[in-house]
A = this chain, B = another copy of it.
Amino acid sequence: MKTINLTTQRQAVYDVVREAEDHPTAADVMNRLVERGHSFAYGTVYNSLRYLTDKEMIRELKLGETASRYDARTDDHQHIVCEVCGKVGEVMTPMPEEWLAKVAEETGYEVHEAHIVVEGVCAECRSKRKR
């Protein structure tokens, strides 16, 4: 089933995520939809986010906060979160294949993928702190 049915609502949700500079939560998406003059049901936004995630048009990120975030970049990459301001950055440096191979060997699992959340302090917060 590769058919993708983009209703008005789904398209609008997709646009918000695609045009976001950050990694918005469902609530963020909701707010931005309202700013754009939409008023969809709360459930519809969640449904749309799930639909788009299923179709792999966006990715759902679970970064250890209470709410999921969404990302329109679907290529393989990881994330880094600033412990001070919460800003989320993309990590494109690929995880070495041999680490995954070793993990497979160690655990006996067939390894599919790794979700990595790096924690640290962003440059901005670092310079503020030094003061």
Contact = CB atoms under 8 A, between A and B. Distances in A.
A106 B119 contact: no
Nearest to A64: B62
User: What range describes how many residues of A lie at the interface?
Assistant: 35 or more
A131 to B, nearest CB: 16
B110 A120 contact: yes
A109 B123 contact: yes
Contacts of A80: 103, 107, 109, 111
A120 B109 contact: yes
Interface in A86-131: 89-93, 95-96, 99-100, 102-104, 106-123, 126
Contacts of A114: 116-119
Contact of A93 (B62, B103, B115): B103
Question: What is the count of identical protomers in the complex?
Answer: 2
A82 B104 CA distance: 12
Given A64-B115, A80-B103, A116-B115, A109 B93 contact: no
Contacts of A89: 107, 109
Contacts of A64: 62, 115
B112 A120 contact: yes
B96 A99 contact: yes
